[in-house]
Structure 1
Amino acid sequence: MSKKTPVTISDIARRVNMTPVTVSRALNKPDLVKPATLARILEVAHELDYVPNAFARSLKRSESMIIGVITASVDNPFYSEMIKAISREAKTRGYTIMLVDTDGSEELEAKAVDTLLSYRVAGIVLSPVSDEPAYQPVYLSRLSNGDIPVVQLDRALPASPFSHVVLDNYHSGLKGARYLLAQSPAMGRMLVLTGPAHSRISEERLKGVKAAIAGSGKPVQLDVFAGDYTLEPSHQSTLDYLRDHPLPDAIFGFNQLITLGAMKALRDRDIAHHSVAICGIDRLPFADIFGIPIACIAHDASLAGSSAVKLLLERIEDRHLPKAQVVIVGELENGVGG
Structure 2
Amino acid sequence: MTKRSQATITDIARHVGLTNMTVSRALNKPDKVKPETREKILAAARELGYVPNAFASHLRSRKNQLIGLVTASVDNPFYSEVIKAVSRAAEERDYTIMLIDTDGSPEREEVAIETLLSYQVAGIILSPVSDAADYRPAYLDRLRATRLPVVMLDRTLNVPDFSRAVLDNRLAGSLLGELLVKKDIRRVLALTGPRGSRITQDRLSGLKTAFDAAGVSLTVEQRPGDYTLQPAYRDMADYLRQGKLPDAVFGFNQLITLGAMRALHDARVSRDEVMVVGVDRLPYADIFEVSVPCAAHDTYRLGHEAFRMLFEQIEDPTATGREVVISATLISSSGD
TM-score, with length taken from structure 2: 0.90
1:283 matched to 2:281: yes
- Offset at residue 225 of structure 1 (A): 2.0
- Against the structure 1 CA distance between its residues 337 and 222, is the aligned structure 2 distance closer, same or farther, given a 3 Å change threshold? farther
Letter in 2 for 1:307: E
Unpaired runs of 5+ residues, structure 1, are none
- Against the structure 1 CA distance between its residues 40 and 332, is the aligned structure 2 distance closer, same or farther, given a 3 Å change threshold? farther
SS in 2 for 1:320: coil
Letter in 2 for 1:308: A
Q: 8 Å contact 2:290–2:334 — kept in the other structure? A: no
Letter in 1 for 2:323: Q
- Against the structure 1 CA distance between its residues 143 and 224, is the aligned structure 2 distance closer, same or farther, given a 3 Å change threshold? same
Report 1:86-235 matches (<5 A): 86-182=86-182, 184-185=183-184, 187-235=185-233
Task: State the alpha-carbon separation in 2 of the partners of residues 45 and 92 from structure 1.
Answer: 31
- Against the structure 1 CA distance between its residues 3 and 192, is the aligned structure 2 distance closer, same or farther, given a 3 Å change threshold? closer
**CA distances 1:303-322 after superposition (whole Å, capped 9, x unpaired):** 22222222222222222111
Task: State the alpha-carbon separation in 2 of the partners of residues 181 and 188 from structure 1.
Answer: 8
Identity, % of aligned pairs? Answer: 52
SS in 1 for 2:272: helix
Letter in 2 for 1:71: T
Q: 8 Å contact 1:282–1:297 — kept in the other structure? A: yes
SS in 2 for 1:224: strand
- Against the structure 1 CA distance between its residues 197 and 2, is the aligned structure 2 distance closer, same or farther, given a 3 Å change threshold? closer
**CA distances 1:220-264 after superposition (whole Å, capped 9, x unpaired):** 222222222011222222233334464222221110011112112
Task: State the alpha-carbon separation in 1 of the partners of residues 18 and 322 from structure 2.
Answer: 51
- Offset at residue 337 of structure 1 (A): 8.4
Structure 2 match to 1:305: 303
Moved more, 76-85 or 154-163: 76-85
Q: 8 Å contact 2:127–2:154 — kept in the other structure? A: yes
- Offset at residue 18 of structure 1 (A): 5.0
- Against the structure 1 CA distance between its residues 288 and 334, is the aligned structure 2 distance closer, same or farther, given a 3 Å change threshold? farther
1:296 matched to 2:314: no
Of residues 250, 257, 260, the one that matches 1:259 is 257
Q: 8 Å contact 1:66–1:122 — kept in the other structure? A: yes
Unpaired runs of 5+ residues, structure 2, are none
Structure 1 match to 2:75: 75
**CA distances 1:274-314 after superposition (whole Å, capped 9, x unpaired):** 33222110111221111112111111222222222222222
Question: Where do 4+ consecutive residues of structure 1 move more than 4 Å?
Answer: 13-19, 30-44
Moved more, 13-22 or 204-213: 13-22
- Offset at residue 30 of structure 1 (A): 4.3
Task: State the alpha-carbon separation in 1 of the partners of residues 104 and 45 from structure 2.
Answer: 43
Task: State the alpha-carbon separation in 1 of the partners of residues 215 and 7 from structure 2.
Answer: 73
- Against the structure 1 CA distance between its residues 129 and 49, is the aligned structure 2 distance closer, same or farther, given a 3 Å change threshold? same
Q: 8 Å contact 2:71–2:101 — kept in the other structure? A: yes
RMSD: 2.3
